[in-house]
Amino acid sequence: MSKIKAAFFSFTSCEGCQLTVLTLEEQLLELVELIDIVTFREAMSEKSDVYDLAIVEGSISRNSEITQVKKIRDTAKVVVALGACATIGGVNCLKNQYEMDAVKKIVYGSMADNFDTIPARPIEAVIKVDYKIHGCPIDKDEFVEVVKAILQERKPRIPEYSVCVECQMKENICLFEKGMVCLGPITRAGCKAICPTYNDGCVGCRGLIDDPNVSSHKKLLTDHGLTIDEAIAKYMLFGSYNKNA
Ligand code: SF4
Ligand code: SF4
Ligand code: SF4
């Protein structure tokens, strides 16, 4: 039986999620027994325009990227959005609150007219996405789970509950008790609550859970003498594309 051909692509991103895939080591060797990686610029020089599975990292922030990602969708049977830039727009969308001409001048100075830039967006804003692997960066185990689920033609087992569940399973002291803001109650779990475990509030890199209880989160903030503006400031780091959520 021929193996599924998989191609990795990267748009506007730091490529940290692809790097995370490369650190899988033994699990990656097991995966290449099952899939044939035909394009992966961060790991190999060969490339191919023939593939079944496209794993796409990064947000879309240039007109040329719109054309490229549509071509990927036309070619692949299955498209996976890899990491927060691709799934929710991520940190790249911070620029969207400014005029694009002003952004270009800040970044490129007198060369600004040579560069194309548009408000950043997740890839799902341009093409249909079949699977999402959340986080900045992604969780290695979740990557393996999603790829296995695709090969086995089943739904991947991805948490649909909040970061608080994982945090409480670790018996962490809640950061609200320390007077800190945390977005754990409204953010999708799967990162093993790594930020609150290391005494840092969750900033929502895995995106919102499907039905976030925002009013309960607001009450939690005010009950602890914290402001909604403080929570919104944290949310905007990763959630600014979805700022009206
Ligand atoms: S989600 Fe984070 S780690 Fe992944 S490419 Fe974007 S900025 Fe980099
Ligand atoms: S620290 Fe954050 S993630 Fe942990 S229980 Fe408190 S609100 Fe939830
Ligand atoms: S705790 Fe929140 S910000 Fe930190 S990795 Fe998990 S989802 Fe992302």
The CATH number linked to 133 is 3.40.50.700
Q: What's the pLDDT at 232?
A: 95
In the chain, what percentage of residues exceed pLDDT 70?
99
Rounded to the nearest angstrom, the distance between the alpha carbon of 51 and the centre of ligand 3 is: 32
Mean pLDDT for all residues in the chain: 95
**Does residue 107 form part of some domain?**
yes
Both 176 and 99 in one domain: the answer is: no
pTM (predicted TM-score): 0.94
CB-defined site of ligand 1, < 6 Å: 13-17, 57, 83-85, 90-91, 136-137
Q: Which of 151, 179, 204 is the last residue of a domain?
A: 151
> Nearest ligand to the C-alpha of residue 170?
2
Indicate if the pLDDT at residue 244 is higher than 90. Answer: no
Which atom in ligand 3 lies closest to the alpha carbon of residue 167? 1
- Range in 30-34, 207-211, 228-232 the model is least confident about: 30-34
On whether residue 68 sits in a domain, the answer given is: yes
Mean pLDDT to the nearest integer, 178-195 = 97
Which has the closest alpha carbon to 13: 61, 79, 78, 72?
Answer: 61
Torsion sign across C-alpha atoms 216, 90, 125, 143 = negative
CA of 18 to the centre of ligand 3 (A): 18
Domain boundary among 151, 178, 194: 151
Instruction: Please check whether residue 226 is in contact with residue 234, taking contact to mean a CB–CB distance below 8 angstroms.
Output: no
DSSP state of 191: S
pLDDT of residue 25: 86
pLDDT bin (cut points 50, 70, 90) of residue 1 is: low
Is the predicted pLDDT of residue 245 greater than 70, yes or no? no
Mean pLDDT of 44-49: 94
Measured in angstroms, how far is the CA atom of residue 35 from the centroid of ligand 3? 29
Q: Are 18 and 113 contained in the same domain?
A: yes
Residues 38 and 134 in one domain: yes
- Residues whose beta carbon lies within 6 Å of some atom of ligand 2: 163-164, 167-168, 172, 174-176, 182, 184-185, 193, 196, 202
Q: What is the span of the domain harbouring residue 122?
A: 4-151
Q: Are residues 87 and 193 in the same domain?
A: no
Residues 61 and 141 in one domain: yes
What is the sign, positive or negative, of the torsion defined by CA atoms of 127, 131, 134, 136? negative
For residues 48 and 104, state if they share a domain.
Answer: yes
Tell how far the Cα of 182 is from the centroid of ligand 2, in angstroms. 6
Helix axes 26-34, 140-151, angle to 10 degrees: 10
Give the mean pLDDT of 38-59.
96
Total domain count for the chain?
2
Is 245 inside any structural domain? no
108 and 191 assigned to the same domain? no
Q: Tell me the pLDDT tens digit for each residue of 212-224.
A: 999 999 999 999 9
**Ligand 3 shell residues, CB under 6 Å:** 135, 163, 187, 191, 193-195, 202-206
* Nearest alpha-carbon partner for 41 in 59, 27, 21: 21
Residue finishing a domain among 103, 122, 151: 151
243 — pLDDT class (breaks 50, 70, 90): confident
